[in-house]
Amino acid sequence: MASVTTFIRNTPASSLQAYFEHTGIELSNPINWDGPEPEVVKGTLRAVDDMTDDERARVLNDAERVSALADDAGQTALYSVAEDRTVLDDLVNGHARPLWMFLNAPTLFRFAEEVRFTDERRRGRSWDGFMAPANLDLNRDAVALEAFKSALRERFSSNNIHIDIFSRQRPTFDGEDCELVQIVIYREGLPDAFLAFDDEGELVRRARRPVFEAAMTYEPETGVIEVVANDRESREEMARYMARDLLGVEFQSEKVPLRNYDLSVLLAPHPFQTDPDDGIESVEVKQLRLMPFDNNGERVTLECLRKADRTIWKMSADRFGANDPLAGGWVATQAKLTIKFHPKGSSKRGRTLPLTITMPHGCNLKDQTEEEQLIGEKYLRRWGILNDVD
């Protein structure tokens, strides 16, 4: 019940009242929604404990969905699909905003969930990007959609296909939002079986057809098609169907070029200039992995731990002297940086953003929050580590 407790403790009383009135779940004890916050929380938690199993399960499910969009990445997803952002601006915190959309715009709420699903997997193992002509209008009429769904049904041997298509925005590293069209595909899988208890408490095996989710986006300004799906082979095929049936163009199978990282700038002390508005306190190189030019079977790793009293360049120069690998003859193949931020509000400690960059195309930015990705990409480009795509 941790997620229910978090949900109730972080949601304003007026929003909680609206939620229970919307669901029609009757609370076992009357709640004074205008009373002190501790009393509202205590009374609501007690009422949840008194609910039937079905009612409690519904509250748990709703709380998990709302709480999943209460963090920074979730807020970005909400704003990316919101029809009127000022409505969200006027709400008091990160739990009130997704709950308002959950109650008042459930379709947009589901779209926000789909945005988060898609963007969290960008540039990861389940992602591919392809090039298509720019400035095309995506065809959403019944004939085009049926052609697209028919191709998916045949490809996956799936009788049932559901498609969501909606417009959205995505923040970019330069502070502007880019316009996207997103397609989310739900398809029925092959029959499967799972163990469950029946009404008499007996263990039985029940059949089901699982539902699999995939997502695609098209960015008109650049022509980039992105596909998120577990099956690598199907990603290119889905991009082909989308280009043919919805964009009306021939698919060329041209992939988005990989991002190139260059760590040579870290072989010497680097100033790491930042903008005051981003609240960055310090940037440190914590680790460098080096390979000699004349032997690709050997590696040397330099590392400065948290208590180190000198930079990684000073340490290497002092320790190795004339044989300092940073002085020449070696190439950096991996680096670990730590970006430390100033504390916010009443917090005593600022958060840190750890970055691991591996030559030539690897970086853990894709595993960070949307805000951290934007900050990381901005400064890796400024510092000369991330180059523009080929």
Residues in the chain: 390
Alpha helices in the chain (DSSP H): 2-10, 13-23, 37-49, 53-67, 72-81, 85-89, 96-104, 106-120, 142-156, 232-242, 312-320, 370-382
pLDDT level of residue 106 (50, 70, 90 thresholds): very high
State residue 182's pLDDT score: 97
**Would you give the DSSP letter of residue 247?**
I
For residues 102 and 28, the model is more confident at: 102
Q: Are 266 and 288 in contact, with CB atoms under 8 Å apart?
A: yes
Quote the tokens at residue 328: 């020449």
Average pLDDT taken over every residue of the chain:
91
Q: Residue 2: is its pLDDT beyond 80?
A: no
For residues 241 and 377, the model is more confident at: 241
As a whole number, mean pLDDT of residues 323-345 equals 92
Quote the tokens at residue 346: 């009443």
As a whole number, mean pLDDT of residues 258-262 equals 85
State residue 190's pLDDT score: 84
Q: Residue 389: is its pLDDT beyond 60?
A: no
Q: Residue 175: is its pLDDT beyond 80?
A: no
What is the percentage of the chain residues whose pLDDT exceeds 70?
Answer: 98
**What is the C-alpha to C-alpha distance for residues 14 and 40, in angstroms, rounded to an integer?**
10
Quote the tokens at residue 390: 């080929």
State residue 221's pLDDT score: 93
What is the percentage of the chain residues whose pLDDT exceeds 90?
Answer: 73
Q: Are 274 and 280 in contact, with CB atoms under 8 Å apart?
A: yes
Name the one residue in this structure whose structure tokens are 């790793």: 301
As a whole number, mean pLDDT of residues 275-283 equals 93
Compute the half-sphere exposure of residue 388: CA atoms within 13 Å on the CB side of its CA.
Answer: 0
State residue 238's pLDDT score: 97
Give me the residues paired with residue 228 across strands: 127, 215
State residue 265's pLDDT score: 94
Among 46, 50, 36, 39, residue whose Cα is nearest residue 5 = 46
pLDDT level of residue 73 (50, 70, 90 thresholds): confident
Q: Residue 144: is its pLDDT beyond 80?
A: yes
pLDDT level of residue 390 (50, 70, 90 thresholds): very low
Q: Are 68 and 74 in contact, with CB atoms under 8 Å apart?
A: yes
Q: Are 259 and 361 in contact, with CB atoms under 8 Å apart?
A: yes
**Would you give the DSSP letter of residue 44?**
H
Q: Residue 37: is its pLDDT beyond 70?
A: yes
Task: Spell out the SS3 assignment of 59-120.
Answer: HHHHHHHHHCCCCHHHHHHHHHHCCCHHHHHCCCCCCHHHHHHHHHCHHHHHHHHHHHHHHH
For residues 73 and 165, the model is more confident at: 165
Q: Are 15 and 95 in contact, with CB atoms under 8 Å apart?
A: yes
* Residue 282 CB neighbour total at 10 angstroms: 13
As a whole number, mean pLDDT of residues 316-325 equals 94
Q: DSSP readout, 141-184?
A: SHHHHHHHHHHHHHHHT-S-EEEEEEEEEEE-TTSPEEEEEEEE
